[in-house]
Amino acid sequence: MALDLQSTSRDSLAGIAERLEGRVAPLSAGDRQQLGEQLYAVTRLLAAERALRRALSDQSTAREQRAGLAQQVLEGKISAAALETVTDLVSARWSGPADLVTAAESVARQSLLAAAEKQRALDGVEDQLFRFGRILDREPELSSLLSDADVPADKRVVLLERVLGDKVYPVTAALLRETVRTPRGRHLDVTAEELADLAAARRNRSVARVRTAVALSATQEEKLTGTLSRLYGREMSLQVELDESLLGGMVIRVGDEVIDGSVAGKLAAARRSLPH
């Protein structure tokens, strides 16, 4: 998922993300998850407290002062690893206060995905996030209820937890819970799919979204993955959705490129070629 950041902020986040990887490397899955959830709590604080957000990103203030303010506010409330990451964040240069919030959210997400990686559950988390995004796309009423700003965030989270039950990994639940709690004006179905893309990227894979008229067997998915990987010259991760409206065949989307091999697509192309 490409973040909408200017070059200064992108460079700052890249450096912080690299240091984060070294910080999480020795941590257990549980400690990685705790780190991610604490960084999400900091993200919510920054999003809610405008004055604090501006103070911690003010480039006219020495970075030592900004770091000192962050420590004053957060010391004793979050783990040492989380406080070190926040110190990195507020010591960096940002194009604007909003970029500090975006960066905090980004490292929170990566910390949680690192927990799934430690548990060898990244592929399952990716699949669950993608499928939940598809559910939201098909169920606009549910999506509306989960993103209704007039409903307190805690009540929206309770609804989400009822929908999810115990069917998903803790990391999946945490990522979706934070997305519902602080949507920041984004469509939840799109954000869920973007999170799935992040999970794939952490496995050094690109994403191929596949709509198919009939369910694919494990062997067929494996063959399609191999074919697409050879075609694009990189490892691919399939996100497969059943769509009977295609009548037959499949539609594959990789980034902005679409391969339409569906019966419906061929019929539409044939109609377009008929003389008017």
- Reported as a single tens digit per residue, the pLDDT across 64-91 is 999 999 999 999 999 999 999 999 999 9
Segments of the chain with pLDDT less than 50:
1-2
pLDDT tens for residues 159-206? 999 999 999 999 999 999 999 998 888 889 989 989 999 999 998 888
Beta-strand ranges (E) seen in the chain are: 206-212, 236-242, 250-254, 257-260
Pair type for strands 236-242 and 206-212: parallel
pLDDT, residue 53, reads 96
Tell me how many degrees the CA angle 3-9-14 measures, rounded to the nearest 5: 75
- Helix, coil or strand: residue 111: helix
Q: What is the pLDDT of residue 1?
A: 47
CA atoms lying within 13 Å on the CB side of residue 183: 22
Edge-to-edge strands, sheet with 250-254? 236-242, 206-212, 250-254, 257-260
pTM of the model: 0.83
The CA R_g of the chain, rounded to the nearest whole Å, is 21
The token duo for 158 is 């309770």
CA atoms within 13 A on the CB side of 143: 17
Looking at residue 3, its pLDDT comes to 66
